Amino acid sequence: MKTVIYDLETQYDEGLDAAAAEIARGGLVVFPTETVYGIGANAADEAAVKRIFEVKGRPQDNPLIVHICDISQAFTAARSISPMAERLMRAFWPGPFTAVLKKSEAVSDTVSAGLDTVGVRLPSNAYARELIKRSGCMIAAPSANISGRPSPTRIAHAVEDMYGRVPVILDGGDALVGVESTVCDLTGDVPVVLRPGGITAEMIEKEAGAVKVARAVLNGVSDGERAASPGMKYKHYSPDANVTIVEADGNEPLAKALAMLYDKKTEAGGKTLVLCLDETAALLGKRDCACLGKNAEEAARRIFDELRRADEDGYDEVLFASTGLEGMGLAVMNRMIRAAGFNVIKA
Ligand code: TXA
Ligand code: MG
Decide: 271 and 299 in contact? Cβ < 8 Å.
no
Nearest 5°: CA angle at 183, between 178 and 189?
A: 150
Helix 296-312 vs helix 329-339: crossing angle, to nearest 10: 20
pLDDT for position 238? 77
Beta carbons within 8 Å of 266's beta carbon, 6+ residues apart: 272
Q: Name the residue at shortest CA distance from atom 31 of ligand 1.
A: 229
The C-alpha atoms of residue 341 and residue 330 are separated, in whole angstroms, by 16
Residue 8 pLDDT level (bands cut at 50, 70, 90): very high
Residue 193 dihedral angles phi and psi, to the nearest 5°: -75, 115
**Dist. CA 315 → ligand 1 center (Å):** 30
Q: Name the residue at shortest CA distance from atom 32 of ligand 1.
A: 229
Decide: 238 and 338 in contact? Cβ < 8 Å.
yes
pLDDT tens digits along 95-133: 999 999 999 999 999 999 999 999 999 999 999 999 999
> Does the model's pTM come out above 0.85?
yes
* Residue 248 in this model has a pLDDT that exceeds 90: yes
- Ligand whose nearest atom lies closest to the CA of 95: 1
Ligand 1 binding pocket mutation candidate from 111, 149, 229 (most atoms within 8 A of CB): 229
pLDDT tens digits along 22-50: 999 999 999 999 999 999 999 999 999 99
Q: Which residues pair with 121 in a beta bridge?
A: 67, 98
In ligand 1, the atom with minimum distance to the C-alpha of 34 is 1
pLDDT tens digits along 214-243: 999 988 765 555 556 666 666 667 788 999
